[in-house]
Amino acid sequence: MVHDVEKNNPPREAQRRPGAVQIARVVGVPVYVNLSWILVALLIAYVFRPVVDEQVPGLGVWSFVAALGFAVLLYASVLVHEIAHVLVARKFDLPVRAITLQFLGGLSEIESEPQTPWREFAVAVVGPLTSLGISGLAALGHTAVSGPALLELALFQLAWANLLVGLFNLLPGLPLDGGRLLRAGVWAVTKQPHLGTAVAGWAGRVVAAVVLLLPWTVLARTGGSPSLLYIVWSVFLAMFMWAGSSQALMSAKIRRKLPAIHARTLARRGVPVASELPLSEAVRRAQEAHAGSLVVVGSDGRPTGLVSEAAVLATPEHRRPWISVGDVARRIEPGLVLDVRLTGEALVRAMGGTPATEYLLVEPDGRVFGVLATADVDGALART
């Protein structure tokens, strides 16, 4: 499964991932495993163990180990699915931040959207096709081998599992790969990628509702007793689908507004102040100049830091005369300096590269234009 993230290039690999550990690096992309995967692996082993006991009797406690091995094998095939996404994305020069194996499968974090519907289609379709290919190879292997019984069982189950994974991912709704295929189709026909996202997002909600209601529909028709595991699993899948589709709809709403966002028009005037200047005096100068930000400059006049509005407000007024500007300033890093010509999605990606409350805007020749506050961008998106 593919997921777009608003980040700047290159990927910030040092970003912390609570609840996840890096296990490998594949084609230069870090691979993380969310600790929730352990619960799923144990659940798969619990469900699969009776099948192992029936098909390969006499293993005793080792049947659970074999079932757990199948869970690992299944997630290895999910990893191959995600690697396929990554390889095609790289082919189109799309940066990939990471691959994450998690509770309900895998996630390829691609940092920007494909520029054409064809590329969107190619990146999305390769994952399910890979799963179906693994299913076919496992099925061929099952027919070719004649023992041991545990190997035959593993190949048989791997074939069925990847068949289900491939077909499920082709369902036409975000956040599944099939939703991205639907988005690509609508995009190709209407020339409007945001409309494609909206259609695929609402389709994802429909798929979520179907997944949630399916167990009850089957039970109503068959008159059988409900399986708690089946119901719980369908609820988890439906929640996952609904959350992903809702996020996609929100993303589409924001992306429609992005072209109207310009760094130059949102810039605040910045007052240059020395690092040793008392904060109270710096604030007074900013108010007198009707400026909305403070830029710390060195003896050579070059900007060295930014003082956020939050830092000023967090300092009690009676203490401001005794605190220097440098004490509350954030040192200017490369990611905090943005081209004043940035607009729309490019601006948001640039800001995402180094999250902050303020950024220094500069002209192409390096001259300081002003300061861009994240709050002003958020406000513009809310109003547009």
Active site residue 281: no
* 74, 66 Cβ separation under 8 angstroms: no
Has 177 been labeled as part of a binding site? yes
Q: Tell me whether residue 194 is annotated as binding.
A: no
Cβ count near 347 (within 10 Å):
21
Buried b (16+ CB within 10 A) or exposed e, 252-281: bebbbebeebebeebbbebbebeeeebbbe
3-state secondary structure at position 224: coil
Q: Is 3 annotated as a binding residue?
A: no
Which of 26, 113, 117, 120 has its CA nearest to residue 78? 26
CA distance 384 to 382: 6
Q: Which residues contact 91 (CB under 8 A, 6 or more apart)?
A: none
Q: Which of 82, 109, 120, 358 is catalytic?
A: 82
Exposed/middle/buried for 29, CB within 10 Å: 0-12, 13-18, 19+?
A: buried
Query: Helices in the chain by DSSP H: which ranges?
Result: 36-55, 62-91, 117-144, 149-169, 177-190, 193-222, 228-257, 263-266, 279-288, 309-313, 325-328, 344-353, 374-383
- Which residues belong to the active site? 82
Residues annotated within a binding site for Zn(2+): 81, 85, 177
Binding residue positions = 81, 85, 177
